[in-house]
Amino acid sequence: MSQKMNLTAEQIYEKEFHVDVKGYSSEEVDVFLDEIIEDYQSYDETVEELSQAVMRYEEKIKELQQEIYTLQNENQSLNEKLENAQQNGNYDQVDILKRIARLEQAVFNTTQE
């Protein structure tokens, strides 16, 4: 997409040729240039659509990467708390199960019934 086009559809449309006695048929040249213009316009539209899609996907990737980072930190924190509680022998299993359920809900987008 970084390749710069030499001509725009408007430049092709506006192009005028010098007419010689032995020159090309202006009608044939016009028909051919009209086809080129249509191709350029279609190409420009496609490039614009794809550029917008790339920008949307890049934004979504950033959002998901941030969510992953947050969930990894939360998971690490919960694992550390669990290890500390197990070492001290004073952990509440219900509390741990609730935290794990919340983490699973955040990761898998599930709802509790």
Q: Profile the chain (113 residues) by mean pLDDT over runs of 10 residues.
A: 66 76 78 85 91 97 94 88 72 73 79 50
**Can you read off the two tokens belonging to residue 11?**
């430049």
Residue 75 near residue 83, CB atoms below 8 Å:
no
Q: Does residue 3 form part of some domain?
A: no
DSSP string computed for 33-78: HHHHHHHHHHHHHHHHHHHHHHHHHHHHHHHHHHHHHHHHHHHHHH
Q: What is the model's pTM?
A: 0.53
**Rounded Cα–Cα distance for residues 71 and 79 (Å):** 12
User: What was the pLDDT predicted at 1?
Assistant: 43
Cα 105 from Cα 40, distance rounded (Å): 49
Is 1 inside a domain boundary? no
How many domains does the chain contain in total? 1
Which one, of 53, 44, 32, lies nearest residue 4 by Cα? Answer: 44
- What residue numbers bound the domain in which 18 lies? 9-108
Q: Mention every residue, 6+ apart, whose C-beta is less than 8 A from residue 5.
A: 40
Q: Establish if 113 belongs to a structural domain.
A: no
Instruction: Kindly state whether residue 59 falls inside one of the protein's structural domains.
Output: yes
